[in-house]
Amino acid sequence: MIPTLVACSGLAWGQQTGVDLDDRIVNPLTADPGKIVVLVFLRRDCPVSSRYAPVIQQISKQFSERATFWLVYPDKSDSPQAIRKYLQDYGYHLPALRDPDHQLVKLGRAQITPEVAVFDRAHQLIYDGRIDDWYVDLGRARPAPTTHELSDAVRAVLAGKTVATSEVRGVGCYISDLE
Amino acid sequence: MLHLGPGVSSWLRRSAWTMILLAGAGAVGMLAGRPARPSSRFSASAAAPAEQVTFNRDIAPIIFQSCTACHRPGEAAPFSLLNYADVKKHARQIVDATESRAMPPWLPEPQKLKFADELRLADAEINLILRWVEQGEIEGDPADLPPQPRLVAGWRLGKPDLVLTANKPLTLPPSGSDTYWNFIFPVPIQETRWVKAIEIRPGDKRYVHHANILVDREASSRQREAEPGAGFGGMEIRIESQVFDPDSHLLFWKPGTVPYVEPDGMALRLDKGTDLILNTHLQPSGKPEVIQPSIGLYFTPHPATRLPMLLQLENDAQLDIPPGQKDFLVSDDFTLPIDVELLAIYPHAHYLGKDIQAFATLPDGTQKTLIHIAQWNLNWQAVYRYAEPVRLPRGTKLSLRYRYDNSEENPLNPNHPPARVRGGNRSSDEMCHLWLQVLPVNFDPAEGDPRRALQEALARHNVEKNPGDFEAHYNLAAMLQARDKLDAAIGEYQLAVRLRPDDAAGNNALGAAFVAAEHSAQAVGYLQTALKTRPDYFDARYNLGLALAGQNDFAGAAEQFRLALQLQPQDANVEANLGAALAQLGQLPEAKSHFERALEIDPHQPIAKENLGALQKEMNSH
C-alpha cells in the first residue's frame, strides 16, 4: 500500500461544501437540519463503486426518515450531466454533490471509492471507511458481506451509542489518484 | 431374400461436458528485450535524475503491452489506459493491482514449460510502476513515448464468414449473485463446414467474466430451454452424444482474448444441425444490463487431418470437504497408453479451490510441472495454451493435485459459517476438473483412430476410481462397443444396469448390445424394462422390434416398429424394417408400401432398396 496523505486536523468549519448538479454551493451537514448525515464517495469509473449502487440505495432507503445520504463525486472532470446520467442508469434517488476541491473528501477522511462518512447531529464524524466487507481486495468479492459497518454506524448514531469501529478502509479506487 | 438392418441405435452417452477451445489467453506478447532496472521501493528520494522514472519512457511500454488491449473503449475493462492522463488517474490503483498480481489477470506461477501469450509482469516492471508513483508520476520527454498499440475495434480477425447472434437477450439484474447463463446458437449451414477460428463477442464485455463454447451435435440442449431460443441457466452443462466423436477443441473467451486461429489440419467440424452452446459467467454491475452475445465463425476449406482429443483428469467423488477444513487434498493420476503432444490445459474448480497443480512424470522418472496456480480464482479461470507442444510418451503418468480451503479464512467460501461441501454442478458445490488437449503422435494409422485407445483407458480409469458409478460403467461399455469388443461391452453394461436396474438408457444399451451380438432372446427383457421406464423411448422401441424379429417373432416386431413410427414418423430405417417384417408375414402389398415410404424419406435406405427389388420379383412370380 502507498501511504496516502489525508488532512486530519486543522480544518476550518464552513469550508466543507460541495457543488450540486445545478452548480449551487451546498453544505451537506447543514442542509437538512435534524437528521444525521452520510456522505458516500463514488467514482463513476470505479466498478466497485458502481456495483454498490443497489446496496447504497437500499441502506439509504432504510434510514431515510432520520438520515440524509449524499452521493459525493470527487472527480473534478465529472460534469453535472454525466453524473445525472449515472444516477439514472444506476437507479439512484439520492442527492449528488460534486467535490472538485476535495473539501468533502477531507471532511469525511475518504481515501477510496466507495467509502462513507457518517456524521452525528452535532456534525461530528463518527465513522469513516467501507460500507461492508463484501470486497476482500481488487477483483475478489465475497458471495455476501459478513460485516455491515455503514448500517451499524448509522444505527449506533441514531441510538446515541458509540460505534464499535470508527474507521475501516475500503477496497476500490483511490481518490488521491484524482489530485 | 429379405433381411433386417443393423439395430444398434443408441450406444454412447458421453458423461463429460465437451469443452472447446480456439482462443488463446492474453492479448499481448511477452515483453522482450527490455533491461531489468535495479529498483527498490525505498530508493525514490535517493534517485539521481538519470534514474528518474517517466511515463513516456518507462511506464507507457508496460501499459501498452499488458493493459491497453482490455483498458480501452468497448472492451472489458472498466476504464481506459491509453495515455498519461488515463494512467495518472488510476496510478495508485495500478500499483496495488500489480503488486497483488490481481492485474493483469494471469493465474499460473512461472514455470519451465512456457505458455503462449503469458500475461505476467516481471517483478522489475511492477517495481518500476511503484517508483514512478513515488517519484510523483512524471510524464517525461514526449520523444520517448512509444506509439500506441494498433488495436482493432470490433471483430479482431476481420469480418467473420458467419455471424450468429443470440435469439433473445438476457437482462442481468443490478445486484445479486453471479449468473451462469447458456445461450443456444443453431448454426444455419446446409453442409459440413470446417472452422479455423471462432470469435466470441459476449455482448457488453464488462459484465461477462468468461464464456465457453460447447458443440452440441445432436441439439440435446434445446430441451432445457423453457421456450425455444430462451437459453437456460446453469454453471456446468453436459452435452450428450450418441457417437464417438470427441470434440477436441477448447473454445474459451475471457476479457482480452484474441481469437486463436487453428493451424491447417486442426479445424473444427460443424455439421448441419449442430448447435453451439455459449456458457457464460455474468457478474451484476450495479445497474440492469442487457446481454446479447454474438459468435463469429471463420471457415477454412481444409478439413481436419490432425485430430486432438480432450482428456479429463478429475476426482469429484473425493470432494466431501468438512466445514473448517483448511487444506483438503484431492488427487487423480492417469497413465497415458499412447504417445501424445500436450497442446493446452484448462483447470477448473469453484470457490473453495486454493492451490491447483498438475504435473507429468515421464517413464524415465523426470517430472514436469504442467501448471501451478497458487491462488486459484474462478473469476479469472482460463485455458492455457503451451508455447510449444509438450511431448509426453506412452507410460507418462499425469497427476492432478488440487487443494481446497473450506475454512472461514477463505473469503470466497459460499457458506458462512462454513458447511460441508461436496462435488456437484452448482456454484456452491465444488469441482475438481482438469482438461488437457492432446494430439496423438507416433501411431500406426492402420490401427484406426488412436484416440479410441486413449478414451478406453480413460473410461477404464474412471471405473477403477468409481466402481459404484453407473455412468463410469456405461461409458466404458460404450467405448468397448465402439472398439468392437462386444462381449466386454455387454459385461460392463450389465454392471451398469445392476447399479441402476430401471435406467432406460442403460437397459436399452444392454439390449441393443445383445441384439448386435445376435443374442436377441436375452435382449428382449432389458428393452422391455427400458420401455417400462420410458414408454416414448424411440430407440428402445426400435431395438425391441429388431430383437423380436431376430427371434422370428415378426408379428411382434411389426407391432413395435409401428409404435416406433408413431414416435418418429420420418424414420426410414423403421419403415424399411417394418416392410421387412411384413414381408416375412406374407403381407406383401403392405410391405411394398413401407419400403416405398422408406425410400421416399431416404432414397439410399439399403434394406428398402434391396428388398423392394426382391419383393417385386416375388409378387410378379405369383
Question: Quick one: three-class SS letters along B18-53?
Answer: CEEEECCCCCCCCCCCCCCCCCCCCCHHHCCHHHCC
**Cell for B445?**
494409422
pLDDT band at A103 (very low <50, low <70, confident <90, very high): very high
Question: For residues B116 and B176, which has the higher predicted lDDT (pLDDT)?
Answer: B116
Indicate whether B441 and B570 sit together in one domain. no
Q: Quick check: is B611 in a domain?
A: yes
Q: How far apart are CA B157 and CA B78, in angstroms?
A: 24
Q: Is the pLDDT of residue B357 over 70?
A: yes
Contacts of A91 in chain B (CB under 8 A): 174, 287
For a pLDDT cut of 70, what percent of chain B falls above it?
A: 91
Indicate whether B162 and B294 sit together in one domain. yes
Is B102 within 8 Å of A136 when comparing Cβ atoms? no
Complete domains list, chain A, with CATH: 18-178 (3.40.30.10)
Contacts of A44 in chain B (CB under 8 A): none
> Which whole number is the average pLDDT over B311-333?
96
Q: Does A89 touch chain B (CB under 8 A)?
A: yes
Q: Is the pLDDT of residue B467 over 70?
A: yes
B221: phi then psi, degrees, rounded to nearest 5: -85, -20
Indicate whether B464 and B593 sit together in one domain. yes
Q: Quick check: is B30 in a domain?
A: no
Coil/strand/helix, residue B484: coil
Q: Does A76 touch chain B (CB under 8 A)?
A: no
Q: How far apart are CA B65 and CA B121, in angstroms?
A: 10
Q: Quick check: is B522 in a domain?
A: yes
Indicate whether B159 and B268 sit together in one domain. yes
Contact B20, B253 (CB under 8 A): no
Indicate whether B443 and B467 sit together in one domain. no
pLDDT band at B45 (very low <50, low <70, confident <90, very high): very low
Indicate whether B254 and B402 sit together in one domain. no
Is A143 within 8 Å of B351 when comparing Cβ atoms? yes
Q: Does A51 touch chain B (CB under 8 A)?
A: yes
> Which whole number is the average pLDDT over B335-340?
97
Least reliable range by pLDDT among A18-27, B11-20, B145-154, B284-293:
B11-20
The single-letter code of the amino acid at B435 is W
Instruction: Report pLDDT for A3.
Output: 41
Last residue of a domain, one of B232, B265, B300: B300
Question: Residue B521 belongs to a domain with what CATH number?
Answer: 1.25.40.10
Is A177 within 8 Å of B380 when comparing Cβ atoms? no
Q: Quick check: is B437 in a domain?
A: yes
Per the structure, the count of domains in chain B is: 4
Distance spanning both ends of chain A, measured CA to CA:
18
pLDDT band at B78 (very low <50, low <70, confident <90, very high): confident
A48 to chain B nearest CA, in Å? Answer: 9
Q: Does A137 touch chain B (CB under 8 A)?
A: yes
Instruction: Report pLDDT for B220.
Output: 82
Nearest CA among B270, B250, B387, B259 for reference residue B312: B250
Contacts of A1 in chain B (CB under 8 A): 96
Contacts of A135 in chain B (CB under 8 A): none
Indicate whether B467 and B615 sit together in one domain. yes
Is A143 within 8 Å of B90 when comparing Cβ atoms? no
What's the mean pLDDT when you consider all of chain A?
Answer: 90
The single-letter code of the amino acid at B116 is A
Indicate whether B318 and B432 sit together in one domain. yes
B85 to chain A nearest CA, in Å? Answer: 10
Contacts of B98 in chain A (CB under 8 A): none
What's the mean pLDDT when you consider all of chain B?
Answer: 86
| Domain housing B444 | 309-450
For a pLDDT cut of 90, what percent of chain B falls above it?
A: 64
Q: Quick check: is B27 in a domain?
A: no
> Which whole number is the average pLDDT over B430-444?
94
Indicate whether B205 and B290 sit together in one domain. yes
Instruction: Report pLDDT for B7.
Output: 33
Q: Does A138 touch chain B (CB under 8 A)?
A: yes
A177 to chain B nearest CA, in Å? Answer: 5
Indicate whether B522 and B555 sit together in one domain. yes
Placement of cell 432507503 in the chain? A61
**Cell for A168?**
475501516
All residues at 6 or more sequence positions from A85 whose CB lies less than 8 Å from its CB, including other chains: none
B419 to chain A nearest CA, in Å? Answer: 14
Q: Does A55 touch chain B (CB under 8 A)?
A: yes
- Give chain A's radius of gyration (CA, Å): 15
Is A50 within 8 Å of B88 when comparing Cβ atoms? no
Nearest CA among B65, B64, B41 for reference residue B53: B41
Least reliable range by pLDDT among B156-165, B204-213, B406-415, B556-565:
B204-213
Indicate whether B204 and B234 sit together in one domain. yes
Q: Quick check: is B527 in a domain?
A: yes
Contact B204, B289 (CB under 8 A): yes
Q: What is the pLDDT of residues B93-151, one digit of tens each?
A: 999 999 999 999 999 999 999 999 899 999 999 999 999 999 999 999 999 999 988 87
Question: Residue B410 belongs to a domain with what CATH number?
Answer: 2.60.120.230
Indicate whether B492 and B443 sit together in one domain. no
Contacts A–B by Cβ distance under 8 A: 85
All residues at 6 or more sequence positions from B355 whose CB lies less than 8 Å from its CB, including other chains: B372, B373, B374, B375, B376, B401, B402, B403
Q: Does A143 touch chain B (CB under 8 A)?
A: yes
Q: Quick check: is B8 in a domain?
A: no
Is A91 within 8 Å of B287 when comparing Cβ atoms? yes
Q: Quick check: is B149 in a domain?
A: no
pLDDT band at B60 (very low <50, low <70, confident <90, very high): very high
